[in-house]
């Protein structure tokens, strides 16, 4: 049976800037990243999502691009990129690049020419208005940081439109010339070997823009065209859309399988944290129930944390307050009125059992898991840093200066390494965890290895099962003739729970302990689970092959 690679992938998110500094200037680079590929291979991931690494004034960690066609010299050369991606390919690891085309940086030569010369073709690349539109104080993606979506440019003598920061003018993606540029960017990086793109701000790209326009995601035909460009040039390349959607908008983005391949599952992510906060599995089950069935070759990307705030905007006000109380009670932990700017481990009180539970759920939920650098060793956050920088501190490799990230003097680092205390590099680092068989890192490696051997979770069809205890999440994933089960206890108490496995299960093989479970009554099979305990099981009592 045809099984596209993105359904069996484990993705790992890297920000080149803060991962590993190869030349000792305090900034991460491709040389440093290439040197860590063996580490990543050991983690059993088979796809790296590279956050933006293009020339940028870096006012938004590279999501403000000044040139789409090369590598920021701070991170190396185009040659270093190619060398890295070939070394990744040699280890069976694909590379996905961030496609940030909703906006450019104000520093991009297109914008500079557009503002200077009204006759330039680049003028029409952006969205302008002589007068400040009436709704200019609405629609900011970073409320509290930005007060308007239309900023005055003294050179153009016009207002320009921007959904994100003031320094990120929106491209007019309705302009055919802009669409051609986007095609060219896609083709360029495909030619350089990437297996696809994480599409930044996708809903905003496919929206008609301009004063008086109020559509949202109202240009789906453009999504089809982008996809055609991608697929014509590389048949197995994928788009992973960054789109935080309410369930009713999902079908428009997947289409009939002719639009994006993968969508980040923000909807389930927020309900997952609600479920964790409550110690109750039902918000996860209900969230999946609310989502539409997706086309055969499409997929959800499941994650615990990203490089952004944990966005809780899709929850009700009361639900959001519950999650805030549980995981981000202090005002300084919250951001944009909707999210939490913390890493996973500190949010979960550095409780190993809970951290394992969270990872185990992410690895088994219907979809493709996406890990973020640092979470595999339980890194913490630095709330003294601004906005989302709190969770973007350098990777902690060893208990050596700068946590092994860089040999530069500490003052020259792109962001400070977390030192001291429970989450400091002295305690939390790769080298120490590699030597400790009981470490979180070794546990994550074991689970990702197992996950690779159980394709049913990613590529199969999944159903949630009836349980006698609402704290327990039980799921069956089926691929062809074989079925696997995942059972998770979200509560802090041990449970004995009856699960309706459905008919046809006469034995279960515990994939974590290698023990057989006899099944007398599949309709009421009893499991015992520790506080925050979890089980992965294969039906048939037979081989794990
Ligand atoms: C979404 C990215 O994840 C975020 O980090 C960035 O600030 C915005 N898009 C703007 O590109
Ligand atoms: Ca460097």
DSSP lists the bridge partners of residue 299 as 262
Q: How far apart are the CA of 413 and the centre of ligand 2, in A? A: 9
For the cut 80, the answer to whether the pLDDT of residue 77 exceeds it is yes
- Locate 183 and state its tokens: 């095609």
Average pLDDT over every residue of 355-381: 98
Average pLDDT over every residue of 397-421: 98
Give the pLDDT confidence of 265-281 residue by residue, as tens digits.
Answer: 999 999 999 999 999 99
Cβ neighbors of 339 (< 8 A, separation 6 or more) are 308, 309, 310, 311, 312, 313
Q: What letter would DSSP give residue 247?
A: G
Choosing from 58, 59, 100 the residue with most ligand 1 atoms within 8 A of its CB, the one to mutate for a pocket test is 100
Assess whether the C-beta atom of 308 lies below 6 angstroms from ligand 1.
yes
Query: d(Cα 97, Cα 360) in Å, to the nearest integer?
Result: 26
Tokens 């008919």 map to which residue? 503
Return the minimum-mean-pLDDT range out of 34-43, 156-165, 211-220, 352-361.
211-220
Assess whether the C-beta atom of 100 lies below 6 angstroms from ligand 1.
yes
Q: How far apart are the CA of 289 and the centre of ligand 1, in A? A: 28
Q: How far apart are the CA of 165 and the centre of ligand 1, in A? A: 10
Assess whether the C-beta atom of 387 lies below 6 angstroms from ligand 1.
no
For 286, other C-beta atoms within 10 Å of its C-beta total 13
Q: How far apart are the CA of 275 and the centre of ligand 1, in A? A: 26
Residues above pLDDT 90, as percent of the chain: 96
Query: d(Cα 110, Cα 112) in Å, to the nearest integer?
Result: 6
Assess whether the C-beta atom of 201 lies below 6 angstroms from ligand 1.
yes
Query: d(Cα 442, Cα 13) in Å, to the nearest integer?
Result: 19
Tell me what pLDDT residue 502 has: 87
Cβ atoms of 86 and 51 within 8 Å: the answer is: no
| Predicted structure pTM score | 0.98
Q: How confident is the model at residue 35 (pLDDT cuts 50, 70, 90)?
A: very high
Query: d(Cα 58, Cα 340) in Å, to the nearest integer?
Result: 23
Residues in the chain: 545
Average pLDDT along the chain: 97
Q: How confident is the model at residue 295 (pLDDT cuts 50, 70, 90)?
A: very high
What backbone phi and psi angles, to 5 degrees, belong to 252?
A: -65, -30
Assess whether the C-beta atom of 425 lies below 6 angstroms from ligand 1.
no
Average pLDDT over every residue of 285-301: 97
Q: Are strands 482-489 and 534-539 parallel, antiparallel or unpaired?
A: antiparallel
Give the pLDDT confidence of 488-539 residue by residue, as tens digits.
Answer: 999 999 999 999 998 788 899 999 999 999 999 999 999 999 999 999 999 9
Measured by CA distance, the residue closest to atom 11 of ligand 1 is: 63
Assess whether the C-beta atom of 200 lies below 6 angstroms from ligand 1.
yes
CA distance between the termini of the chain: 17
Cβ atoms of 362 and 302 within 8 Å: the answer is: yes
SS3 content of the chain, % helix, strand, coil (to 5): 35, 20, 50
Hey, which bits of 459-515 come out as E strands? 461-464, 472-479, 482-489, 495-499, 507-510
- Locate 325 and state its tokens: 């109380």
From the number of C-beta atoms within 10 Å of its C-beta (0-12, 13-18, 19+), residue 30 rates as buried
Give the pLDDT confidence of 336-362 residue by residue, as tens digits.
Answer: 999 999 999 999 999 999 999 999 999
Ligand nearest to the Cα of 98, by number? 1
SS3 for 363? Answer: helix
Ligand nearest to the Cα of 20, by number? 2
306 CA: nearest ligand 1 atom: 3
Catalytic site positions: 200, 242
Tell me what pLDDT residue 80 has: 98
Average pLDDT over every residue of 258-266: 98
Ligand nearest to the Cα of 142, by number? 1
Tell me what pLDDT residue 1 has: 66
Assess whether the C-beta atom of 264 lies below 6 angstroms from ligand 1.
no
Q: How far apart are the CA of 200 and the centre of ligand 1, in A? A: 7
Average pLDDT over every residue of 110-128: 98
Q: How confident is the model at residue 541 (pLDDT cuts 50, 70, 90)?
A: very low
Residues above pLDDT 70, as percent of the chain: 99
For the cut 60, the answer to whether the pLDDT of residue 290 exceeds it is yes
DSSP per-residue codes, 91-146: TT-EEEEEE--SB--TTSHHHHHHHH-TTSGGGGGB-EESS--TTTTS--SSBTTB
Query: d(Cα 297, Cα 274) in Å, to the nearest integer?
Result: 29
């Amino acid at each position: 049976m045809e099984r596209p690679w993105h359904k069996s992938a484990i993705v790992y998110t890297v920000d080149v800037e803060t991962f590993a500094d190869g030349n000792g200037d305090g900034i991460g680079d491709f040389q440093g990243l290439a040197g860590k590929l063996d580490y990543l291979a050991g983690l059993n991931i088979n796809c790296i999502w590279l956050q933006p690494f293009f020339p940028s004034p870096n006012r938004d960690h590279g999501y403000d691009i000044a040139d789409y066609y090369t590598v920021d010299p701070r991170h190396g050369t185009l040659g270093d990129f190619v060398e890295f991606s070939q070394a990744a390919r040699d280890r069976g690891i694909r590379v996905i690049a961030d496609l940030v085309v909703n906006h450019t940086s104000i520093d991009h030569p297109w914008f500079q020419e557009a503002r200077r010369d009204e006759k330039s073709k680049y003028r029409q690349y952006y969205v302008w208005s002589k007068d400040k539109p009436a709704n200019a104080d609405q629609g900011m993606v970073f409320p509290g940081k930005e007060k308007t979506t239309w900023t005055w440019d003294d050179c153009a003598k016009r207002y320009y439109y921007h959904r994100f920061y003031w320094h990120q003018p929106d491209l007019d993606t309705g302009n055919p010339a802009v669409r051609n540029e986007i095609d060219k960017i896609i083709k360029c990086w495909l030619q350089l070997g990437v297996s696809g793109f994480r599409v930044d701000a996708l809903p905003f790209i496919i929206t008609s823009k301009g004063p008086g326009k109020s559509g949202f995601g109202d240009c789906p035909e453009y999504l089809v065209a982008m996809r055609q460009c991608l697929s014509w040039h590389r048949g197995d390349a994928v788009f992973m859309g960054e789109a935080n959607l309410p369930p009713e908008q999902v079908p428009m983005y997947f289409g009939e399988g002719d639009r994006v391949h993968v969508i980040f599952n923000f909807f389930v992510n927020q309900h997952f944290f609600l479920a964790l906060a409550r110690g109750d599995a039902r918000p996860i089950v209900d969230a999946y129930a609310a989502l539409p069935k997706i086309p055969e070759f499409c997929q959800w990307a499941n994650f615990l944390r990203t490089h952004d705030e944990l966005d809780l905007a899709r929850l009700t006000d009361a639900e959001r307050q519950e999650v805030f109380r549980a995981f981000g009670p202090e005002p300084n932990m919250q951001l944009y009125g909707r999210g939490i700017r913390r890493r996973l481990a500190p949010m979960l009180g550095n409780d190993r059992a809970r951290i394992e539970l969270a990872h185990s759920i992410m690895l088994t939920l219907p979809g493709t898991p996406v890990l973020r650098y640092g979470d595999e060793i339980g890194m913490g956050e630095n709330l003294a840093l601004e906005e989302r920088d709190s969770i973007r501190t350098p990777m902690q490799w060893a208990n050596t200066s700068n946590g092994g990230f860089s040999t530069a003097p500490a003052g020259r680092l792109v962001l400070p390494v977390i030192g001291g205390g429970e989450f400091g590099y002295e305690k939390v680092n790769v080298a120490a965890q590699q030597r400790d068989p009981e470490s979180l890192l070794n546990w994550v490696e074991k689970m990702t290895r197992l996950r690779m051997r159980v394709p049913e979770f990613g590529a199969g069809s999944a159903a949630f099962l009836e349980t006698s205890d609402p704290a327990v999440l039980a799921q069956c994933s089926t691929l062809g003739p074989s079925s696997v089960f995942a059972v998770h206890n979200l509560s802090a108490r041990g449970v004995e729970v009856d699960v309706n496995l459905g008919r046809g299960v006469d034995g279960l093989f515990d994939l974590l302990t290698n023990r057989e479970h006899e099944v007398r009554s599949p309709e009421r099979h009893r499991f015992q689970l520790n506080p925050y305990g979890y089980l992965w099981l294969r039906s048939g009592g037979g081989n794990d092959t």
